[in-house]
Structure 1
Amino acid sequence: MKQIIPIVALALFFSCQNTAQSKKEQQAVINAIPIEVPIENGKARAYFASGCFWCVEAIYESVKGVEESISGYSGGYTKNPTYGASNTGKTGHAEAVEIIYNPNIVTFETLVDVYFASQNVTQVNGQGNDRGSQYRSIIFYQNEKQKNLILAKKLALEKKLNVKIAAEVYPFQKFWIAEEYHQDYEKRNPNNSYIRNVSIPRLNRFKANFPKELLKDDHH
């Protein structure tokens, strides 16, 4: 459950996260050759980690050209990660989303802009009270063009805000789809306290500051 962790437990928790992230297996993931996902039926795919995937899924689905946003896990070194395993911080994975989009309507560059505009860009290993390496910010690239674009935008934002941007930049390897009950969680659980108090306010903050012409008219 996504909630505030007691301070003592939190200290131990972060210790585990840092150890997991520094493992040689994790470094192998970071240094791997990216895998490019081919366009199918005119649809492309992009992958982002930005805290709770319930929140990120809804944010991307508010953008024109995004056909679907799927919750899952990526960036780690274990096979078949589960929600419970990911929450231990020992899999290396972060909660991530797979964005299925029409590149004729929305570009990868715009999706990266959505990414930076929808989070606290300076928070390391988390967003808000969701803390731990499983909530860390990662942008996944599938080729050198995407990598260079991401790095350029990250550097420009650091200079503009005069801060260090927390987002890591990883070569995409594999996306593991999360358990069925996580999919479209906000839509199916509008009265959930986390959705009301965290997810929807985060979505509304993003929509208030992002160009309206890039957002769907009928999205909540």
Structure 2
Amino acid sequence: MKIIKSIVVASFALLLVSCFGFTNKEDTQKEATYVPQEHTEVAYFASGCFWCVEAIFESVVGVEEAVSGYAGGNTLNPTYEKIGTGKTGHAETVAVYYNPKEVSFETLVTVFFGSHNPTTKNGQHPDYGTQYRSIAFYKTENEKKIIEDAIKQLNAEVYKRKIATEVTKFTKFYKAEEYHQDFERRNPNQSYVKAVSVPRLNKFKKKYPQLLKKSAH
């Protein structure tokens, strides 16, 4: 009986600090509707829970907006509940809207690899499953080369050929439900945010202070 109780308690504790353990749909609207400018370009990255990834990219100079969503699979119109099964093929992905005059795609790739563990297959602690896998999406051959060059260098100098990141041609991005947008900022006291998202963001800030907006310091 004690063993069963321990398992239940452990499972509940894991749920509290899981990206998939929160489905409160209140506070659904962003404060303002983002409108891309003529100069704006978009890059797409998946590296675990999109609550964390969105907050990281939004702290970077030149990034105008980051939007949480789903990409990398073949299922039409994926939802948070559906991708949580790990059967849709999609990963939690962030669309990064940026000004190429202020930040390059190459720098965004540096942010991507520098803000998660790219050697972990299908997950970033404490979230595991194909929906949390590491993917760097490219739209052009030049973007693909930038990503592959970064992987080659990191494998040689840091990760000893252990990088598990997928390099995938971008096809379609599905915006996630509104309650996921700016989740970390809107839910500062949520258990996962305090235990995982904020520490991950702070670790990134400490590592790359030169890339941060003044408001992010």
Q: TM-score, normalised by structure 2?
A: 0.82
Structure 2 partner of 1:145: 142
Could you tell me the percent identity over the aligned residues? 56
- Would you say how many aligned residue pairs link Structure 1 and Structure 2? 185
Q: Distance in 2 between matches of 1:140 and 1:113?
A: 14
1:117 is aligned to 114
State the alpha-carbon separation in 1 of the partners of residues 51 and 37 from structure 2: 25
Decide which of 45, 48, 60 is 2:57's aligned counterpart.
Answer: 60
SS of aligned partner of 2:102: coil
Q: Which runs of 4+ in 1 moved over 4 A?
A: none
CA distance in structure 2 between the aligned counterparts of 1:3 and 1:75, rounded to whole angstroms? 30
Match for residue 207 of structure 1 among 202, 205, 208: 205
Distance (Å, rounded) in 2 between the aligned partners of 1:95 and 1:4 = 19
Task: Name the SS of the counterpart of 1:85 in structure 2.
Answer: helix
Answer yes or no: is the 8 Å Cα contact 1:4–1:130 preserved in 2. no
Counterpart contact for 1:3–1:129, Cα < 8 Å: no
How far apart in 1 are the matches of 2:162 and 2:170? 23
Unaligned runs of 5+ in 2: 1-11, 16-35
Q: Say which SS state the counterpart of residue 218 (structure 1) adopts.
A: helix
Matched with 1:43 is: 40
Give the TM-score taking structure 1 as reference length. Answer: 0.81
Write out aligned runs for 1:82-121 (5 A): 82-121=79-118
Between the aligned partners of 1:116 and 1:213, the Cα distance in structure 2 is 16
Query: Could you say if the C-alpha distance between residues 198 and 77 of structure 1 is closer, same or farther in structure 2, counting changes exceeding 3 Å?
Result: same
Q: 1:3, CA displacement in angstroms?
A: 7.0
1:3 and 1:140 map into 2 onto residues whose CA distance is 33
C-alpha separation in 2, matches of 1:46 and 1:166:
19
Structural RMSD (CA): 1.5
Q: Secondary structure at the match of 2:137?
A: strand
Tell me which residue corresponds to 2:156. 159
The alpha-carbon deviation at position 122 of structure 1 amounts to 1.1
SS in 1 for 2:214: coil
Distance, in Å, in 1 between the alignment partners of 2:46 and 2:13 is 19
Measured after TM superposition, the shift of residue 89 of structure 1 is: 1.1
SS in 1 for 2:44: strand
